[in-house]
Each structure stands twice: as structure tokens, then as C-alpha cells.
Amino acid sequence: MEGAVAAGLWGFVGGSALLIGAAIAYLVHLPQRLIAAIMAVGSGVLISAVAFDLMDDAYARGGFDATALGFFGGALVYTAANILVSRAGAKHRKRSGSNPAQSQADADEGSGLSIAIGALLDGIPESVVIGVSLLQGAGVSLVTVAAVFLSNVPEGLSSAAGMKKAGRSAIYIFGVWGAIAMASGLAAALGYAVMAGASPDIIAATTAVAAGAILAMLVDTMIPEATEEAHEYSGLIAVAGFLLAFILSKLEG
């Protein structure tokens, strides 16, 4: 029970970045390049987490077959679900909305809700991984938590900006994002509780599913935005994020 509570709290920490992003969008205006730079750092950190934390752990637990099937399956499921929410108006949910020509220019009521649903879609595999990382008994993966946090800030900012343009109240905006942050904590707690007695192959497949979904999300949403706005510096910023996460993962080990 204590482990599930700890997993839930760490999942909420990662999800709370959505609230921070929403607060930034509601109170101040940030340069879109700064947001893109944050996204580039988050992309590098997430890629490192996928490569050195999630896939390594999955392979060590379940071998190549469970890891490969889970990895491709996670990407496939995420892509199918992402197509649905994107067509409903959440295609640019990772964008800041500061440029009216993109992202949330239309910002109607439906698109704001679709973006929130898309954020939940992005956050579930990330939160489950946070919970599963505690099963090893060595504490939560700080690399994963940091990566999730960094990727969630611009997403909360994006949707809150769109909802604000659509005339939604602060109570509505922060209520939506507070609920999603709580859902992230719940997903992490459930990930821990459900996987606590599972076989190594199932844990490996679950971890790999999340890794595949996260990598598909990166290529589809975060990296294009970072590259479009940060231009020639996005690769360097992402490398810095990757290196930081790599160092942290080795220090944790």
C-alpha cells in the first residue's frame, strides 16, 4: 500500500507540471522560442529515459521478445489513439498557442477539451512507468519524473491558452488540468499496484509498451514543435537534455 501511495505521489508530481503550464498561460505571455527550448530539453531527456531506463529495464526483465512486442505495440496503440484525438482538434496540443497561425488559433470549446483528452493520452504511459519504476525497490526513477515534468509544462500551457481564447473561466481551466494531474497520480499508483505481483515478462512488456508510446509521442508532437520554433538550436538543446539525463541515470545506478 505504501508503495502505491508513493507511486501516486510521484505520478502527481509529474502531472502537476500541467497545472504549472496552465498557470503560466493564464497569467503571463512567454516567448514561443523559450517554450520550444524547454520542449527540446524535455525531448532529449525523454529519449534518454526511453533508451537507458525503460528499454534496458524491459530487456533485463523479459528478454528481446517481450520487449520488442511491447515496444512496437505501444507505438501502434498510441498512434491509433493519437489519430482520433488529433482529428478532434488536438493535433497541436504540445504547442504554446502564442502564434495565431498555428496550434490553437481556432481554440474553440471542442478543441480545448480534445487537447485535454490528448494530454491524458500522453500522460498515461508516462505515469504507469513512474509507478512501475518503484517495483525495483531502489526508489523512483528521477530521470523519468524529470522527463515527464518537462514535457508536461508546454502541454498544459498549450491547452490553457486555447481554452482561455475560447472564453473558458479560470475555474474550468484549472479544474480540467487539476483532474488530469490527479489522473496521472492515479495511473502511477495503479501501475504499481497492478504490476506488483506480475511476472517479469508482463512487467517487461508493460514497460516497453510505455516506452514505445512515449517515443511515438515525441516524434509526433514534441520534436516537430521544438524544431520549428528553436530552429538550428533545437538539436543542440536536445543533446544537452539527453546528456543530462544520461548522467543522472548513471549516478542513480
- Read off the pLDDT of residues 79-104 as tens digits, 9 standing for 90 and up: 998 888 777 766 655 555 444 344 44
Among 58-62, 148-152, 172-176, name the most confident range. Answer: 58-62
pTM: 0.78
| Residue of 187, 240, 175, 250 lying closest to 213 (CA atoms) | 187
Q: Mean pLDDT lowest for which of 27-41, 139-153, 155-169, 201-215?
A: 155-169
Sign of CA dihedral 122, 124, 127, 131: negative
* Residue entry with cell 532529449: 44
| Residue of 156, 140, 143 lying closest to 241 (CA atoms) | 143
| Residue of 116, 131, 113 lying closest to 185 (CA atoms) | 131
Q: What pLDDT is stored for residue 109 in this prediction?
A: 46
Dihedrals phi, psi of 103, to nearest 5 degrees = 60, -110
Q: Are 100 and 118 in contact (CB under 8 A)?
A: no
**pLDDT > 90? residue 142:** no
Q: What is the pLDDT of residues 150-159, one digit of tens each?
A: 778 877 776 6
